[in-house]
Amino acid sequence: MRPTEDGSRGNQNMQKQIMKTQQFGISLAVLNLFVLMCVLFRANSAVTPDLPPVLRIRGLELVDDQGRVRAMLKVFPADPNVKMPDGTTGYPETVLLRLIDSKGAPNVKIAATEDGSAMSLGGESNPTHVQILARGTNTSLTLVNQDGRKQVIKPQ
């Protein structure tokens, strides 16, 4: 078949080529949309590991690069036979947090018991420290210098 004088045969081929190009473009766009939807769906449905709601341990120690314990959180059992510094007998179950310096001295102690709580902040050298104590219905603040001089403050 020969093209007509106005070139309609060439025009038809050109239109077919344009249509094929448009169909290819639309098909490629649909394929891209499908891939995008798959990626988004997979990202939203990614399985996250189930995390336990609570970490249950009896004690926790943090160590430095040399393996020295630098912090400790532990529950100590009650001991009814221990003689306490205030003259009472018996040590209640205690939760104790210790922050320890590089020399092994506990510079910070925070304790909680059934009958109260305590906090001790240690100085550079022993026996320098500050102790805040609330036990039972009594409270006190104790200050001790390096030379051992002690001042106890209690409410009047």
- pLDDT tens column, 114-155: 989 999 999 888 889 999 999 889 999 999 999 989 999 999
Comparing 110 with 16, the larger pLDDT belongs to: 110
Q: Which residues neighbour 85 within 8 Å (Cβ) at sequence distance 6 or greater?
A: none
Listing DSSP states for 108-151 in one string gives EEEEEETTEEEEEEE-SSTT-EEEEEEETTEEEEEEE-TT--EE
Q: 24-38, 90-104, 124-138: which has the minimum mean pLDDT?
A: 24-38
Q: Is pLDDT of 21 > 70? A: yes
Min mean pLDDT across 44-58, 73-87, 113-127 is at 44-58
- Residue 3: pLDDT above 70? no
Computed over every residue of the chain, the mean pLDDT equals 84
Q: What predicted TM-score, i.e. pTM, was given to this entire model?
A: 0.62
Residue extents of the structural domains in the chain: 1-50, 59-153
